Amino acid sequence: MNKFKTIVYSTLITILLVSAGFSYIYFKYINPQMENKQVVEADTTSAFTHPQGAENTRDIKDSLKIKSELNDKIFSNRQTIITKTVQKVSPAVVGINVTKVKKYRDPFTADPLFRYFFGDRIYQKEIKALGSGVIISPDGYIITNDHVAGDASEVIVTMTDGSRHPAKIIGTDHATDICLLKINGKNLPYVKMGNSNNILIGEWVIALGNPFGLFEINDKPTVTVGVVSATGMNLNAVGGRFYINMIQTDAAINTGNSGGPLVNVLGELIGMNTLIYSPNSGAGSVGVGFAIPVNKIKKIIKQLKNAGKVERDFWTGIKIQPIDERLAKYFKLSSPKGVIITSIAPNSPAQKAGLLVSDIIVGIDKFIVTDDNSIISILNQYSTGDEINVKVLRDGKIKSFKMKLEKLHD
């Protein structure tokens, strides 16, 4: 019996101790947290029922406004001098569609006997082609390449507003690959001409145009960006066209870009996209493109406006021979570059200038003469009446002579 009482008493004491412990924990920790939660809920409810809630609403609106301004600032930071220049120049870029009439001879007429009985059969065929151009004056003068529109029977110009205009060929120059067009209009968007003598190698440039006819899809030019890779590039002649003092760029230029503008970041025209180097005769860009410098364009279009062509009916009166290894050794030259004068016609521009037989021509103005092909290309950059500075090697010294390119008389 005593044992049973002991157990009961122990159990009651344990229950009391546990109850006291739970009571302590509840009032010490749990109950204050519940009271605080109720206070927070009451405060939150009052924010929407009390006048102070309106202030919180204004805070939300202010926050949204700040977020909107931040987005606008981010967008404005995306605009660079290049994107702004593109927006400025694009309206003056045009797509050019041309129709050319090509003549070809029936291959059978190559046989004299066939030609005797059936005559010389010559056929005509219309060919469609495309290219790019840029408006250079508010009254509608447009420049492009001669190989784009120089021999076209019809030229249609498409502007960025979707309008299409027939263009008149004012003049074209096959030798420099420059063609001047004109459309009717007033206050047209145009690109200001810059100065290609001030070009910096490595400066940013933008090429715009109509590669592969993409301009026709949305009446917008395709834009590529690169740098000036080199200047003063003298390339080989192509089909009677002479590419001297060209600008090299890595801005992508593709088929259809010919005649389009190459501009600097100020939006000034510094060149006209004309050629690309493409291995294996492909049509895609590998980052080696060439543009005609704008200073040459200025000179040519001035003559095209006045006469419709560039006069090159001049003569020099000299006969030349390229320098080979044997001649280079004989004249103690460091390399076989230049051409030697073998004869001079009496009373010719060369004789009047003071040139002599055995003079070695090494340069004309700022151009370097390397062989007979280079001097022909260089002379085709000039027109009748121009005066050139001929640099020759005579008696081991470089001497300069001014020679006027006089008109050749029959």
Lowest mean pLDDT segment, chosen from 108-112, 325-329, 340-344? 108-112
Provide the pLDDT for residue 355.
97
CATH number of 314-407: 2.30.42.10
Does the domain at 196-307 match CATH 2.40.10.10? Answer given as: yes
Of 313, 92, 298, the closest CA to residue 180 belongs to 298
Residue 165 β-bridge partners:
157
Of 135, 130, 184, 133, the closest CA to residue 152 belongs to 130
Q: What is the value of pTM for the model shown?
A: 0.77
Measured CA to CA, the distance from residue 144 to residue 181 in angstroms comes to 8
Helix (H, G, I), strand (E, B) or coil at 212: helix
C-alpha radius of gyration, the chain, whole number: 40
Second CATH level (architecture) for the domain 88-182? Beta Barrel (2.40)
Known catalytic residues are: 147, 177, 258
Q: Note whether 96 and 148 are within 8 A (CB).
A: yes
Provide the pLDDT for residue 110.
67
Q: Which class for 287: exposed (0-12), middle (13-18), buried (19 or more C-beta within 10 A)? A: middle
Residue 320 β-bridge partners:
341
DSSP assignment of 273-307, as one string?
EEEE--GGG-SS--S-EEEEEHHHHHHHHHHHHHH
Which of the four pLDDT bands, split at 50, 70 and 90, describes residue 240?
Answer: very high
pLDDT tens for 377-400 read 999 999 999 999 999 999 989 999
pLDDT tens for 41-70 read 434 444 444 555 556 666 676 677 776 776
pLDDT tens for 210-236 read 999 999 888 899 999 999 999 999 998
Provide the pLDDT for residue 317.
96
Per CATH, 88-182 and 314-407 having the same topology is answered no
pLDDT tens for 162-216 read 999 999 999 999 999 999 999 999 999 999 999 999 999 999 999 999 999 999 8
Q: Delimit the domains of the chain by residue range.
A: 1-50, 88-182, 196-307, 314-407
The two structure tokens encoding residue 314: 């001049």
Which of the four pLDDT bands, split at 50, 70 and 90, describes residue 37?
Answer: very low
Provide the pLDDT for residue 390.
97
Measured CA to CA, the distance from residue 341 to residue 343 in angstroms comes to 6
Helix 52-78 with 31-49: angle, nearest 10 deg: 80
Measured CA to CA, the distance from residue 266 to residue 85 in angstroms comes to 7
